[in-house]
Each structure stands twice: as C-alpha cells, then as structure tokens.
Amino acid sequence: MGLLSLLEKIRSRASQKLDAAPVVVSCYEAGYDGFWLHRLLTAAGIRSHVFDPASIAVEQRGRRAKTDRIDGELLLRTLMAYCRGEPRVVRIVRPPSPEQEDARRETRERDRLVKEQVGHTNRIKALLRLLGMAVGNPRRRDWLKWLSAQRDWQGEAAPPHIKAEIEREHARLMLLREQLAALERRSAQAQPTPAVAEMARRRNTLFRLKALGPAFSGTLGNEVFYKDFDNRRQVGAYVGLAPSPWQSGGTDREQGISKAGNPRARKAAVELGWLWIRHQPNSALTHWFLARTVKASKRIKRIAIVALARKLIVALWRYVMTGLVPVGAVLKPVEA
C-alpha cells in the first residue's frame, strides 16, 4: 500500500502543476508474481499492462549489460512506444479472472502428482531390478505383503537396507495415490462459480469427442479454452505452434514452431495428435496426416504430427465455441 500512497502523492502534486488529473500507466513483466499486482493497480484506477517478457526487444550482443536500472529503462521505453500506438512493439498478456486462475490449479496439481507417482514407481522398479526380483504392481496397497514372499535368484529375500528404502518409497507412493483420489473427489463435489461453470461446460464439450478423455479435456479446457480468442492465429500462437520463418536477403528457411506459448497446452496438443489418429481414423485431419506421411520415416512423422496438432487445436477451438464438429470426427454415444 506504500506504493499506492506514493503514486497518489505524486499524482496530486502533478495535478496542482498541470491543473488536471494525470493518468497513471504502469507495466511489469509476467512471471512468478502472477496477476495480483495487476488487479491491485487496476482497482486503484491505474492503467496496468502485463508484458510478455519474451516479446521485449533487447540487444543481441553475446555479453550485454543487464541490471535492474537498465531493465527498468527498457520497460519504460517499451511502455511509451506501446502507448504511442507503435505496432508489434510488445505483446500484452491478458490476465485471467481470479476464478479462472484458481480453477486451473486443479489440473496443474494433478499433472505434478502424476509425474511424482511415476517417479516413485520407477524408483521401486529400479531397486528391485538390482536384485533380479519380480516387480509386480507397486501401486497396490497389499504390494509390500506380496513383496515379502518374493525371492531373488539365490532364494534370498531383499536385503534389509534396500527393503527399508523400498518401503519408504512405497509409503510416499501411497500418499500420492491418496492425494490424487482426494483431488478427484473434491473436483466432483465443488460448487462452481459462473466463470468456472463455463470452463466446465467447455471441458464437457471436449469430452464428448472420441480420443479425448478426462485428463486431456481438463488440460485443454483449463489451459487453452478458458480464454476467448479472436481468430485461429491467436490460438496457434498461444499454444506455441505458430511457424517462425527466417527470411533475410536470399536466405529463406523455416525454423520450426515458435514454442512461445503455453508449454502444458502444447505438450497436450501433440500427444492428442497421436491419439486422434488412432481413435478418429475417418476424420479429415487423420486423412490429411496419413496422405502426407505415406512411406515416410519416423522423423518426418514426428514433424508432421506437430502440424496436425496445430490444425487439431484450431478445430477444437471452433468446436468448443460454435459447436462445429471437426469434419469426419465421431462423438461418444450419449449415456441414457
């Protein structure tokens, strides 16, 4: 609140000099601080802009000076250029509402827990492989009882230190399983706000398509389609699947996708591309992919799947916003 008091003092001083109340404009780079500062400044009547830090032009020297003072001056010059109306000087981040930002935590926490669960499972398997023992299913609650009956090639049980380490890993694994189950129960019982209800509607709309399960529908709904885009170019750019050409003089080459968007959404879109080919074999997008990868190598298919992911994410955006089902796509049967 000291910042607001200082700004109000400076504004009142400037009002006395100019005989008019000046407009205060601020900016900062999007980062770990999130959007609370933007909401605070906006509530105080200040025009706040959140900059995409990757879109701010900087010197290209290998060793360039970088201090807080230099960064502050660069942000100020960029803000002045943006307020003058210069095109493409910086990209502005559109902050989500507090309800939308809070709703996204569900899928992000789930992804982190699933990743940790895989790590603990692989660690248990690696420890047992050292002894040449069977692994079984470590995610079962009675797995330790099953493990106590297993023997190695000499007919010996697991050594005490390795067994104790495995038991601790299994305890952490069971805790993760409980947290995942609690997260799913809480998601089913939560009372949504209007913004969260709209996000849930879009997730349910995605879930109706074959190839999209609860995880993909939740990730795409919370990471991409909670936003309102104006055109397909904005959709591709946000996911980071937009092309990045390099043209200079006689040089004309393609550098691949920009990867400047949401990494979680981009990963889900590429994974969904492979699932789409398997579960939607009669869709126009699948035919497009197969026609361009006939007798192609694995490397070419990995490149083509990225192009399919961009087309697919745009088609899903149209489907969510207008109800237009992708050509040839099949919906899941409606339950009674």
Question: How many whole angstroms separate alpha carbon 9 and alpha carbon 307?
Answer: 54
Q: Mean of the per-residue pLDDT values for the chain?
A: 89
pLDDT digits over 298-314, tens only?
A: 999 999 999 999 999 99
259 CB contacts (<8 Å, ≥6 apart)?
240, 266
Question: How many whole angstroms separate alpha carbon 241 and alpha carbon 55?
Answer: 16
pLDDT at 192 over 90: no
Confidence of residue 335 (pLDDT cuts 50, 70, 90): low
> Which pLDDT score, from 0 to 100, does residue 269 have?
92
Alpha carbon 163 to its chain centroid, in Å, reads 38
How is residue 289 written in tokens?
A: 């992919």
Burial-class residue 225 by CB neighbours within 10 Å (0-12, 13-18, 19+). Answer: buried
How is residue 113 written in tokens?
A: 């827990």
> Which pLDDT score, from 0 to 100, does residue 164 have?
94
By the 8 A CB rule, do 25 and 49 touch?
Answer: yes
What does pTM read for this prediction?
A: 0.77
> Which pLDDT score, from 0 to 100, does residue 336 have?
39
Concatenated DSSP letters for 106-173? Answer: HHHHHHHHHHHHHHHHHHHHHHHHHHT-----TTSTTHHHHHHT---TTSPPPPHHHHHHHHHHHHHH
Question: How many whole angstroms separate alpha carbon 129 and alpha carbon 44?
Answer: 61
pLDDT digits over 177-188, tens only?
A: 999 999 888 877
